[in-house]
Structure 1
Amino acid sequence: MTQQLFAVARHIYLIDPETGAFKEYNAEDWSSTISGALIPSTHKIYVTTTFNNLWEISLANNNVRKISWDSWSSCNTLVAVPDDSSECSFKLFAFCHKLWLIDDPNTGHCTDFLGGYTDIWARVNAAAAVGQKIFATTSANNLWCVDTITKEAKQLGSGALAYTGGKLLAFCYGLWEINTNNGDYTPFFDKDSEEAKRSWLGVKAVTVIDTCVYVVAGDQLLALDTI
């Protein structure tokens, strides 16, 4: 199956990652979108908005429906985490004033996953799943790791995060590769290269297809080959 980029702007677009050509997928106004996450096993995308809504977009049948109206405007980030190494099923998490497990995506029903850390999770601005762990950056410039199996949360350490080919990348002023065991980080590019001089502060969104990271920076769509 051909893979495409899914972009939520004022409208929703599908983008060819090879050519950059795009077509409109949904013509409704999505400018109130805060966060979104894809559940690969169901081919469904979940989106939160400033109007306190949680939406479901089914790529399988092109159906869009509003799931619930609640306090979804406080959701900074949605992230999908595989249930096991086979990645046949996923859990959907929401970072709000707490870390919530959306245990029934069909209705938007949530349970308090960790039972605390309210001040910390309200500051989350980006998150990515690495196996069954969630790595999250906060506006306080900290990197956190949440183990969804043991429910252990620990501070390791900012911008956007992407995981591909065994590498966790952090888009900050520079582009860094993070050691997921201890939070150590090294520059992704050779320090003498032209790429190392680029600032990534303007990054708005990132997503991964195979070993390539696609980045929306300013008004540009960039492709970063991690190999």
Structure 2
Amino acid sequence: MRALTGRDEMAFHDTAAVGPHGRLLALASAVGPEVAGDPALPEWEARLLALRSHLFGRRIEAEATCPDCGAGIALIFSADDLPRGASVPSGDEGPIRLSHLLALEASGVAGEAALRRLLGLLLGDEDQAAARLSGPTRAATLLALEMRAAGLGLEIGTACTDCGAPMVLPFDVAAFLDAEMRARADRLLDEVHRLASCYHWSEAEILSLPVARRQSYLRRILAAEVMGAAKGGAG
């Protein structure tokens, strides 16, 4: 795998045209190795977790809200500490695959409509999917689909630091990594502006830098500004 660059981050700045799985597939293919075939959802999530560890390390920082008292909770843990949920059977129509997720994103549906669309994709027949969801087994079918859509079923066990209530929080690898990348893309514009103002580099030159190298230049700019401010105060 190669190092992350600003060009990779910038792809997450405009999120209108492509959904999270589409953006992450492009990122995984860009930094390598390219995603081959059409992986099932658990395998795809495992690849994303490995990608995230390569890019940012095993340490994960997240935030949650206590459902009992509403307090905000900061979570810091290692990817190695994530327990795996029980294996979810693929069902008689086969496993959920990356291609199904990409098709769902392209359709723009969400919630129960997304589950109905997913069943149609798995069966390859929208009419058959509608028939399954019109009978007495509708609720059970939707619940089974929702469980299968959980992929690896990763969960974080913790307790509220305010009220002590125990909490078990699902950890969606794709949603978390996509949110991280979008946050980095938002900060990137300010970093490009600062480097361009100082060194007079073009946007393309700055975006081609590995992230670690870009951050090294930014630290030098900050250190020079601090030193200049200290000298000015002393004078």
TM-score, structure 1 as length reference? 0.25
| Greater length-normalized contact order (CA 8 Å, ≥ 6 residues apart) | 2
Rg (Cα) greater in structure: 2
Q: Which has a greater percent of strand?
A: 1
